[in-house]
A and B are shown apart, each in its own frame.
Chain A
Amino acid sequence: MDFSVIGDNLSYLMLGAWPEGPLGGAALTLVLSVSSALASSAIGLALGVALAVTQGATHRALLAFVGFFRAIPVIMLIFWAYFLLPIVLHIDAPALGTVVCSLSLIGGAYLAHSVWAGISSLPRGQWHAARALGMRPWQVMRWVILPQALPIMAPSFVNQWISLTKDTSLAYVIGVGELSFVAAQVSNRVMVHPTEIFLFVGAVYYLVCASLELCANRLARRYAVPVR
């Protein structure tokens, strides 16, 4: 084992070509992870609330929409977005945007079910009581249901964030210079010590994801539903 290859390329692995060139490496992984986590939370919350309040055909259409994104591999969605967004929307979609877009949609689809489950776990009496007090449906959702349901869902959001962080590595397939991509690049260039390079890269991801997992577990204990 010879980890000097890491030291020699540390700045490239962490920051990419920055500040001379575009940001890359672990820093870009973090940017991708945080932005897709935020976007997927917003999408998941909106879809989850929509799933909870709709019925009949609208509800089934929503379920099918969410189901589609849960059924296809992230790589397939990245391909679709990367090759079809420019054709369909006549815009020049940057690779970074495509990745964030794909990851947020898939993350949002998974979160939608957690949000829906969190809302459904509250007793129906909460709705009835708030409505009887004269609140409008959206006010009930905003002031009564979500403040109770969100803490229950908090661990799901953090767990989804872990998945997203790992999935940012898939940006590799369309050549976005995040951590996995630059690692493969360095490995191909120096042609020696691939084991050390990928062990190091794995350790960097592990540091981020394992700390997030600690957060999720702590949140889960804090907001655990007491056993009756």
Chain B
Amino acid sequence: MIDELLAPRYLGWLLHGFFNTVVLAAVVCACATLVGFVLCVLRAVDRGGVSVAVRAYLSVFRNTPLLVQLFFWYFGVSSLFPEGWLEWLNTPHTWRVVALHVMWPPFEYLAGFVGLTLYTSAFIAEELRAGVRAVPAGQVAAGLAQGFTPAQVWRHIVMPQALRIALGPVLGQYMNAIKNSSLTMAIGLAELSYASRQVETETFKTFQAFGVATALYIAMIVLIEWGGQYLRRRVAYPH
């Protein structure tokens, strides 16, 4: 079954899919961390309507399948657009920003990015909140007693500890984001799983096509795992 490898042309498809997965996952992780952080802070500082809204957001995005969310953004929201928007979004646009040509991505990239980011942000917000809750209440009381303002306590006492505690779980969510990016193939985004399926259909070399894709996914996960172990040693408080 493994008598011959894939032709360079098909390896090229897989590498291109791999590239798309890496870029998508990286952008999603960065944005989802930002959104998740804001959600976590909003929920912590507010006791009224904002907190309720954040909780509803977290509940809805965590308790529905990512695939349905992607379909919703891709098919559902696009049908609500006014006449002409979708055509504009789907036609290639380029801008010159300084010396770079900025290409406007096709709509499935946009929908995939939005769907993955909102989904991932809900999980990251919960991991960050767990980190904040793990900081003993006495730390806050001690900080306030020392004359810190609540904002200073948050900034200099709670956050440094909470982020260290949450580091592992948040990296776990980054791994999930990489794996979840495979779902965007259902809306036609040519990422790694999509490419492997395409190569499989074209060449009938099931083992090679899925093997290369699987190995690349495992490589990404292992890299984050190692990076996480290194990072955790670097930022750990000395005992």
**A11 contacts B by Cβ under 8 Å:** no
Known contacts being A71-B221, A194-B79, is A172 close to B67, with CB within 8 Å?
Answer: yes
> A83–B210 contact, CB under 8 A?
yes
Residues of A within 8 A of B185 (CB): 75, 173
Most chain-B Cβ atoms within 10 A of its Cβ — which of A71, A72, A194, A195?
A71
> B213–A76 contact, CB under 8 A?
yes
Interface-side segment among B44-52, B68-76, B155-163: B68-76
**B59 contacts A by Cβ under 8 Å:** yes
In the assembled complex, the CB of A187 is this many whole angstroms from the nearest CB of chain B, namely: 6
Residues of B within 8 A of A173 (CB): 185-186
Interface-side segment among A54-62, A120-128, A205-213: A205-213
A202 CB contact (under 8 Å) in B68, B80, B183, B217: B68
> B214–A80 contact, CB under 8 A?
yes
> B63–A80 contact, CB under 8 A?
no
Interface size class of A (residues with CB under 8 A): 35 or more
A83 CB contact (under 8 Å) in B180, B182, B200: B200
CA distance in complex: A202, B180 (Å)? 18
Number of A-B contacts defined by CB within 8 Å: 118
Residues of B within 8 A of A187 (CB): 71, 75
**A37 contacts B by Cβ under 8 Å:** no
> B206–A84 contact, CB under 8 A?
yes
> A198–B72 contact, CB under 8 A?
yes
Residues of B within 8 A of A21 (CB): none
> B72–A199 contact, CB under 8 A?
yes
> B183–A170 contact, CB under 8 A?
yes
> B76–A80 contact, CB under 8 A?
no
Residues of A within 8 A of B1 (CB): 87
CA distance in complex: A213, B183 (Å)? 23
> A72–B75 contact, CB under 8 A?
no
> B210–A206 contact, CB under 8 A?
no
> A205–B210 contact, CB under 8 A?
no
> A195–B79 contact, CB under 8 A?
yes
**B197 contacts A by Cβ under 8 Å:** yes
Least CB separation from B222: chain A residue: A71
In the assembled complex, the CB of A164 is this many whole angstroms from the nearest CB of chain B, namely: 11
Least CB separation from A207: chain B residue: B63
Could you mark each residue 143-167 of chain A with 1 if its beta carbon is under 8 Å from any beta carbon of chain B, else 0? 0000000000000000000100111
Known contacts being A195-B77, A206-B60, is A76 close to B67, with CB within 8 Å?
Answer: no
CA distance in complex: A198, B72 (Å)? 6
CA distance in complex: A119, B144 (Å)? 39
Residues of B within 8 A of A9 (CB): none
Could you mark each residue 1-37 of chain B with 1 if its beta carbon is under 8 Å from any beta carbon of chain A, else 0? 1000000000000000000000000000000000000
> B183–A75 contact, CB under 8 A?
yes
> B63–A162 contact, CB under 8 A?
yes
> B65–A180 contact, CB under 8 A?
yes
CA distance in complex: A155, B140 (Å)? 29
> B68–A169 contact, CB under 8 A?
yes
**B120 contacts A by Cβ under 8 Å:** no
Least CB separation from A193: chain B residue: B79
CA distance in complex: A213, B222 (Å)? 30
**B166 contacts A by Cβ under 8 Å:** no
Known contacts being A180-B71, A198-B71, is A73 close to B179, with CB within 8 Å?
Answer: yes
**A184 contacts B by Cβ under 8 Å:** yes
> B65–A166 contact, CB under 8 A?
yes
Residues of B within 8 A of A79 (CB): 193, 196-197, 200, 210
CA distance in complex: A181, B75 (Å)? 14
**B104 contacts A by Cβ under 8 Å:** no
> A202–B182 contact, CB under 8 A?
no
B65 CB contact (under 8 Å) in A75, A192, A205, A213: A205
Residues of B within 8 A of A75 (CB): 182-183, 185, 193
> B193–A209 contact, CB under 8 A?
no
Residues of A within 8 A of B200 (CB): 79, 83
The 3 closest A-B pairs by CB, nearest first: A195-B76, A209-B63, A169-B65
Chain A residues close to B by CB (< 8 Å): 68, 70-76, 79-80, 83-84, 87, 162, 165-170, 172-173, 180, 183-184, 187, 192-199, 201-202, 205-206, 209-210, 213
Q: List 17 A-B contacts (CB under 8 A).
A: A71-B175, A71-B221, A72-B218, A73-B183, A75-B183, A80-B210, A83-B206, A162-B63, A165-B65, A183-B68, A194-B71, A194-B79, A195-B80, A197-B76, A198-B72, A202-B65, A213-B63
